[in-house]
Amino acid sequence: MTTEDPDEAARRLAAVSLAADDPTGWFERLYAAAADGAALVPWDRGAPHPLLVDWADGRELGGGSALVVGFGPGFDAEFLAARGATTTAFDISPSAVAAVRGRFPGSSVDYRTADLLAPPPEFRQAFDLVLEVMTVQSMPPRYHPPATASVAGFVAPGGTLLVITMVAGDGAAAAGPPWPLTRPEIDAFGKDGLRPVAIERPEQRWWRAEFRHD
């Protein structure tokens, strides 16, 4: 097992992809290395994100469709499925898909390989709930606008978008990854008929933003 700091390992792998003008290729390198025991996935919390769990408390999620953007270790997708949502989840890394299917055998979640920057056409306005947790921030800022537009475009009329991501600090831009989001970048999810319901910072370093499709 590697002893390298997981965040430093992620940055090292990302630097290789970014040097080739590939903002997402490092995910497959990371998940493949993790499968071999040569790396750790730094955002593998072993549980759904607590800000998602808090948001879902008391809400009725059953009977609708949900999409998890960049599912990573899969805990957020499994949480939504357990709450009754018909859940689809995608990640750009085939190794991530293989790992999550091994972690949750028999899962009802439809795990797929897909690219947020070139998403499947059938995802367009197809989901009652879209969950985006720290995926846009995993790419350099120049990719945030197209990634944000893709996320917003997944929400069906009458549906909800929930964004959970880190808050950008003051001063110079982060070296990344991650590249946390500014308030204007959070506001930018309000497109394609989406309007903000609540944009909050329940913790100092986190945004949680809810949008509703008219």
pLDDT per residue rounded down to tens, the chain (214 residues):
455 566 676 666 666 666 666 677 778 888 888 778 776 777 788 999 999 999 999 999 988 999 999 999 999 999 999 999 999 999 999 999 999 999 999 999 999 999 999 999 999 999 999 999 999 999 999 999 999 999 999 999 999 999 999 999 765 556 778 899 999 999 999 988 999 999 999 999 999 999 999 8
pLDDT confidence of residue 24: 75
- Interior angle at CA 7, CA 2 and CA 113, nearest 5: 90
- Residue 20: what residue type? A
Instruction: Return the CATH number at 174.
Output: 3.40.50.150
**Closest by CA position to 57, among listed 88, 83, 87:** 83
| Token output for 161 | 């978008």
Assigned domain for 194 exists:
yes
Assigned domain for 10 exists:
no
Assigned domain for 189 exists:
yes
What phi-psi label fits residue 10: left (phi over 0), alpha (psi between -120 and 50 degrees) or beta? alpha
Assigned domain for 88 exists:
yes
pLDDT confidence of residue 41: 77
pLDDT confidence of residue 19: 64
Assigned domain for 37 exists:
no
22-40: buried (b, 16+ CB within 10 Å) or exposed (e) per residue?
A: ebbbbbbbbbbbbeeeebb
For the chain, how far is it from start to end, CA to CA, in angstroms?
Answer: 49
Contact yes or no for 134/42 (Cβ under 8 A): no
- DSSP 8-state secondary structure symbol assigned to residue 115: B
pLDDT confidence of residue 44: 81
| Token output for 189 | 């999810």
Domain count, the chain: 1
pLDDT confidence of residue 1: 47
Assigned domain for 64 exists:
yes
pLDDT confidence of residue 209: 98
Domain of 84, in residue numbers: 45-213
Q: What is the dihedral of CA 179, 184, 190, 196, to 10 degrees?
A: 110
Assigned domain for 21 exists:
no
Model-wide pTM > 0.95: no
Assigned domain for 129 exists:
yes
| Beta pairing class for 155-166 and 206-213 | antiparallel
